[in-house]
Amino acid sequence: MKKIVLTILVAAATLFADVDWAIDYQDALLESKESGKPVFVMISSEGCNYCYFMKSQVFTQKKVSEFLNENFIPVELDLKNDPLPDYLKPYGTPTFYIVYISGKRKRVSRPIVGAAKADAFLQRIKKELEAFRKKV
């Protein structure tokens, strides 16, 4: 019986992964400058059902978390508790931005607003990243 439970736990751990969120926005910017990866920003709020859906159903999927961790410095900002730079305007929660840093210059993607299932969300993020890479 213990082997079955252990097998299930190991299988679950490999199926579900977590996004490696930065501690705060300034740390994410510093890490972005060092790594060359853009910052992926999620603006959320406490009690937001769509934010909860994204964190519990979408970001826990291995294909999503691996893509975000490999290509971005992810950071979550709380709408009420974290200071938001002027260039990150929430249009409801969740609102997502990709911030590209080149030297002292920042480029910010168009906002991605609302929740989506994993495949649709991943497709949108990949499209945004591809568009940026074509401009570099």
Query: 23, exposed or middle or buried, with CB in 10 Å at 0-12, 13-18, 19+?
Result: exposed
Looking at the domain that runs over 16-135, which CATH code has it been given?
Answer: 3.40.30.10
pLDDT value of residue 136: 59
User: Given this model, what pLDDT does residue 51 score?
Assistant: 97
Residues whose CB is less than 8 angstroms from the CB of residue 36 and which lie 6 or more positions away in sequence, other chains included: none
Task: Give yes or no for residue 53 having a pLDDT over 70.
Answer: yes
Q: What is the pLDDT of residue 14?
A: 41
Single pTM value for the model: 0.84
